[in-house]
A and B are shown apart, each in its own frame.
Chain A
Amino acid sequence: MLLIRLAIRNLLGAGLRTWLNGIVLSFSFLAIITTQALLKGMYEQTSNAMIAAEIGGGQYWHPEYDPYDPLTLQDAHGKIPIKLEQEINTHQAAPILIIQGTIYPNGRIRPILIKGIDPEQEVLNIPGGTLAQDIENIPVLIGERTSKATGLGIGDYFILQWRDANGTFDAQDAVIVQVMKTSVQSIDVNQIWAPLDRLRKLADMEGEATIVVTHKDFKENQPAGDWIFRSQEYLLKDLREMVRSKSFGSVFIYMLLLFLAMLAIFDTQIFSIFRRKKEIGTLMALGLTRGRVIKLFTLEGSLQAAFGAVIGAVYGIPLLALFARKGWTLLESTDSYGFALGEKLYPVFTIGIIAGTAVLIFITTTIVSYLPTRKIAEMKPTDALRGRLM
């Protein structure tokens, strides 16, 4: 206890130098935390967006369904297993029927997926409400990317061709009723959304679906009939891998930031020991063992880290809280397309990140503070008293 009081007093006595070290440590501390929080935010935000708009609590796939092979779609539809029907009736799941279609922008054939979704569904965050229109033409919702690729916008009519369950050609005029802006590419690129009931009728696939998306709180993971369950984890695998590989690059930056802070601590410690020889000698002469003197100096160093954390907290907490609330604006313009996502990146600060970083910095600082103090062990109190080092 005495040592701690002494260490604090010494630290405060050093004035400007302590403040400078504290500020540097607080910078490193906050920069590491923020970078981690941004990465975490990126992952959570993207995965949340995917969960909300595409994955839900996992998907049941028709046994023939293969998202990477559109040719298989011809057979990838069927009656929904009864077990899932119950979930659908209680709004715990939403069926999606996917068939292959063709559109003809500028006279060129362009294959496109037609996805049927219930406008009333509450499972996915897809603005399908506008599809609930009783109009002659097929009301269609597309994403911004498809809108750009095909040149189709709200109110545009186009011919949509498909083949029904029997292979009979059918074609109708469709009209774009909404263009949605979404960060989730896989509900946008090369596809159009139509009302489920209408698509089922048009495709002669009454009561059928290709996949059934469960509500995001759905807990079960058993197959339903011969339909295969694809868990959230399975469907998010690519994203996880990507974020993981990105985070390796940032580890190097944490290391540099730590080095920087340690450079400051190391220099300060070397200086302290050099400058305070007489003090060390006096302390030893007063009966403090070398071990205790080493402890005192190491403690002074580690307290720098604690001091850095306090300084960091003083300006960091309001700053980061503001950051977490306001987010990072990624795009200049926000527009009124259905739902807006991914325009801002919100860092996610967790206790784990903050505590982990604090422990990391504290331990490193302690080690770096200790290293120069070994010189003290080699001192003779008599020499030290006379201000002589070795």
Chain B
Amino acid sequence: MIKFILKGIFRDRSRSLFPIIVVIGGVMLSVVLYSWMKGFEKDIVRANANFRSGHLIIMSKAYSGNSDQMPNDLAYIGCSDLIGDLNNEHPGIIWQPRIRFAGLIDVPDENGETMSQGPIVGLGADLISPSTIEPDVLNLNGAIVSGGLPLKAGEMLITDELAQRLNIKPGQTATIITTTMYGSLTTFNMVVCGTIRFGIAAMDRGLVIADIGDIRRGLDMNDAAGEIVGFFSNGSYLAERAESVAESFNMDNSGSGDDFAPVMYTLLEHSGLAATLKMYKSVSGVLISIFITAMSIVLWNAGLLGSIRRYGEFGIRLAIGESQGHLYRFLIAESTLIGLFGTIIGTAFGLLFSLYLQEVGINISSMLKNASIVISDVLRAQITPTSYIIGFVPGLAATLLGSSISGIGIYRRQTSQLTKEFEA
């Protein structure tokens, strides 16, 4: 019977084409919407993860209690061993040491004496090792206003606003003044290799980003870091995995009672994002269910239309003696196949489009005319396992519902009236 139906679907385009196109379109929209909402959610997480908390963050216990003060005297010492162990225990998570500090930047005149000076917040991250993910994580390419990224030791990025205020350009050298992790005054020269802008006033005011190697030398923090941030290598925050990694790590490291023992926090714990995310999830949940309901109605309607379209055909088939039950089952089977085809093709198209939106995204920097670039100027979708199955709800279920309701009409047709109908 399936073979017969398939033949029908392929040969009679009026019977199949429109219903399938509608199902494909509807399923595709559902998949794209779902992935887009997930992408948006990921974006909220990403902005917090990339600049602050990572997906996981390790600090010394003492540091974590005062982390807003960037207390490098409490930083964790022994990062390479710790990261080595973590890499063995948790493959699939990329760990990056970071150092934050507050200080001054001092720009010299031609005699090497102070010409201008200003307060800064510094960030040391791995910018130059070949395998580093930090420039992408921090969206440095998107933030560049002039010059380029640091390619070698001794180079730093400063915000465009700072560069203008201090009257310094890429290629020039400035001195960073801050304190070492042991409290000594320290000064070191860095070459400005580029200027950046993130579009967030607090950052644009006085952020300096340099390779962590330089910052470690400058702050006397050999093998130390204020924070070690971990990112899942697929780029998405996996809440359950993060919780279990943090729990087992803290179990292993809690015994010592040492104030400088490392403590791990998940993104949600550290950033206080849980409430925001919860709210977003309920908003997106409502939107997705409205959308799926609406889509189901559309496909139900399409199923309805499909059956009415073939009013005449069913009449003839009833007239030549096909039983009503058989015809009804036939209709259901046919719409199941149409729904299945449509859903599979629609999901494939939807995933393809979502993949494009995930990898390439929509760049909104041009829409934010001469305003500032935001931390992430590219909006992206995110494909999750649910993206693969979400389309089946409207695609298959609704199509089936539509044809089973409209198919009831078959039972209302009376054989005695059939010939009359054709005369009309």
Seen from chain A, the residues whose Cβ lies within 8 Å of a Cβ on chain B are: 16-17, 20-21, 23-24, 27-28, 31, 35, 38, 68-71, 106, 108, 110, 149, 189-190, 237-238, 241-242, 244-245, 248-249, 252-253, 256-257, 259-261, 263-264, 267-268, 270-271, 274-275, 328, 330-331, 345
Please state if A149 and B372 are interface contacts (CB–CB under 8 Å).
no
Nearest A residue to B71 via CB reads A108
Q: Is B2 in contact with chain A by the CB < 8 A criterion?
A: no
Complex CA gap A253/B41 in Å reads 13
Please state if A245 and B298 are interface contacts (CB–CB under 8 Å).
no
Nearest A residue to B104 via CB reads A71
Complex CA gap A249/B200 in Å reads 18
Main secondary structure of the interface of A (DSSP, over half): helix
Using A31-B291, A70-B119, A257-B294 as known contacts, list a sample of 6 further A-B pairs with CB atoms less than 8 Å apart, ordered by residue number in A: A24-B298, A28-B294, A256-B32, A260-B26, A264-B301, A330-B275
Please state if B33 and A253 are interface contacts (CB–CB under 8 Å).
yes
Please state if B119 and A71 are interface contacts (CB–CB under 8 Å).
yes
Nearest B residue to A238 via CB reads B201
Q: Which of B200, B291, B367 contacts A260 (CB 8 A)?
A: B291
Q: Is B69 in contact with chain A by the CB < 8 A criterion?
A: yes
Nearest A residue to B73 via CB reads A108
In chain B, positions 9-45 with a C-beta closer than 8 Å to chain A are 14, 18, 22, 25-26, 29, 32-33, 36-37, 40, 43
Please state if B300 and A20 are interface contacts (CB–CB under 8 Å).
yes
Please state if B305 and A267 are interface contacts (CB–CB under 8 Å).
yes
Q: Which of A31, A106, A264 contacts B290 (CB 8 A)?
A: A31
Seen from chain B, the residues whose Cβ lies within 8 Å of a Cβ on chain A are: 14, 18, 22, 25-26, 29, 32-33, 36-37, 40, 43, 65-66, 68-69, 71, 118-119, 199-202, 205-206, 275, 279, 283, 287, 290-291, 293-295, 297-298, 300-302, 304-305, 308-309, 362, 364, 367-368, 371-372, 374, 379
A267 and B367 contact, Cβ closer than 8 Å, known pairs A27-B294, A256-B36:
no
Complex CA gap A349/B102 in Å reads 44
Please state if A256 and B291 are interface contacts (CB–CB under 8 Å).
yes
Complex CA gap A69/B379 in Å reads 33
Please state if A248 and B367 are interface contacts (CB–CB under 8 Å).
yes
Please state if B301 and A275 are interface contacts (CB–CB under 8 Å).
no
Please state if A263 and B26 are interface contacts (CB–CB under 8 Å).
yes
Complex CA gap A290/B65 in Å reads 78
> A residues within 8 A CB of B68?
149, 189-190
State how many angstroms separate the Cβ of A378 from the closest Cβ of chain B. 17
Q: Which of B37, B275, B297, B308 contacts A275 (CB 8 A)?
A: B308
Please state if B379 and A252 are interface contacts (CB–CB under 8 Å).
yes
